[in-house]
Amino acid sequence: MIEAVGLTKRYGAKTAVHNLSFQVRPGAVTGFLGPNGSGKSTTMRMILGLDNPTSGQVTIGGYPYRKLPNASRQVGALLDAKAVHGGRSARNHLLSLAQLSGIPARRVDEVLGVVGLQGVAGKRSKGFSLGMGQRLGIAAALLGDPQVLLFDEPVNGLDPEGILWVRNLMKALAAEGRTVFVSSHLMSEMALTADHLIVIGRGQLMADMSIKDFISANSADFARVRTPGTESQQREKLTTALTEAGGQVLPEQDGALRVTGLPLPRISDIAHEADVRLWELSPHQASLEEAYMRMTQGAVDYRSTIDQKAGLQQPLPPGAQPPMPVPGQGQPDWYAPPPPQQDGQPFAMPGQPPAGPYGAAAAPVAAGQPNPYAQPAPMGQEQTQPAAPAAAPAPHPTPTESEDAR
């Protein structure tokens, strides 16, 4: 079991975790949720002894991680799947970890088979995809057959088959009586995997309860009622009857009614008494995502602002008129004819500068301003010299030695 009591961590003037207390019990998958910057990773690092708490303590089986005998065989963790030497093969990476912890070498091939990497065990990890790196990190966590497991975003980069495999793996480990602590931002996956939730926001505990209780406590359940779509009088009649019975009725965009304050059997009785036919009467319960968003909406540090397009537009010069709209422009079948040609070159209209190398009119460029018609520099190279004139494309640079050639 993992137990935190009064856990606090400060970095200078910033408090990452404040007076956090919770327990992670064996035999269940415990989800660890919170917005970005809420202190989840810091908490996991303190559990594993990678960071020292400013105050409070966290123990595993009654001992701090650093005082556990042969801790790597009692606790397995995946915090950063990229923490692997890229020049080592998957087998050699796991073999080095096994030798440090006194784990038999045969266990390496066992966990490679568990995570499905036996076919690439001899390949260097620097060529692994993100999902393969996640599988290798999970294999390292399982290497010592530990009773306590911590996973930070274990399904990151995995395909649907891999996500399902991780879900079943977590449940199987918990069913064996192990302590499984999983941090993730995928609410839909956490709803299918976790039995219990610990939610923090801005370093403080916000919830410590089962998923069912969490959703019930942070959502407004309602009944969805639908009458025959062509009979608006029936809908209005039912609305009046439900309101008089003490219910709250709100119309939905598709013509259904959202009813709160009345249980489903009572709604059915009221409709029967009012002689109103029902095409639908179904309960609605919020998803984990809806409940999570409602609880943590005040603890989010990073919020997007509305894209004010008007602020991105340059004002017109004084006296200038906006361009006249072209009839039909923007429609699916609208077609713009190509500019007239003269001796194989785009024709310049009277009073218009000659065309540039891309067929656009090369307007004069003020001193010190970038030339919008200059040929762009090749990918991966910085353009340190002033842009070449429109009529003379910039010369190609001398090819450099590629990474593989080195």
With CA atoms as reference, report the closest residue to 144 among 69, 47, 55.
69
Mean pLDDT across the chain: 79
> Is the torsion defined by CA of 229, 233, 234, 238 positive or negative?
positive
Is pLDDT at 236 greater than 60 in this prediction?
yes
Poorest-pLDDT segment among 22-26, 135-139, 261-265, 333-337: 333-337
Tens-place pLDDT, residues 329-367: 555 554 444 444 445 454 444 444 444 443 444 444 444
SS3 letters across the chain: CEEEEEEEEEECCEEEEEEEEEEECCCEEEEEECCCCCCHHHHHHHHCCCCCCCEEEEEECCECHHHCCCHHHCEEEECCCCCCCCCCEHHHHHHHHHHHHCCCCHHHHHHHHHHCCHHHCCCEHHHCCHHHHHHHHHHHHHCCCCCEEEEECCCCCCCHHHHHHHHHHHHHHHHCCCEEEEECCCHHHHHHHCCEEEEEECCEEEEEEEHHHHHHHCCCCEEEEECCCCCHHHHHHHHHHHHHCCCEEEECCCCCEEEECCCHHHHHHHHHHCCCCCCEEEEECCCHHHHHHHHHCCCCCCCCCCCCHHHHCCCCCCCCCCCCCCCCCCCCCCCCCCCCEECCEECCCCCCCCECCCCCECCCCCCCCCCCCCCCCCCCCCCCCCCCCCCCCCCCCCCCCCCCCC
**Model pTM?**
0.65
The listed range with the strongest mean pLDDT (39-48, 228-237, 278-287) is 39-48
pLDDT at 348: 47
- CATH number 3.30.420.40 given to 219-290: no
Residue 74, sorted as left (phi over 0), alpha (psi -120 to 50) or beta, turns out to be alpha
pLDDT in tens, 241-271: 999 999 999 998 888 998 988 989 999 999 9
CATH classification of 2-211, choosing from 2.40.110.10, 1.10.340.30, 3.40.190.10, 3.40.50.300? 3.40.50.300
Q: How far apart are CA 17 and CA 40, in angstroms?
A: 9
Q: How far apart are CA 53 and CA 43, in angstroms?
A: 9
The answer to whether the Cα torsion of 282, 283, 288, 292 is positive or negative is: positive
Which pLDDT does position 330 carry in this prediction? 52
* Residue 312 clears pLDDT 70, i.e. is over it: no
pLDDT at residue 212, rounded to an integer: 86
State what percent of residues in the chain have pLDDT above 90.
47
Q: Measured at the alpha carbon of residue 279, what is the angle toward residues 273 and 281, in degrees to the nearest 5?
A: 75
> Domains of the chain: which residue ranges?
2-211, 219-290
Rounded Cα distance between 94 and 84, Å, is 10
Task: Let me know if the fold of 2-211 is the same as that of 219-290.
Answer: no
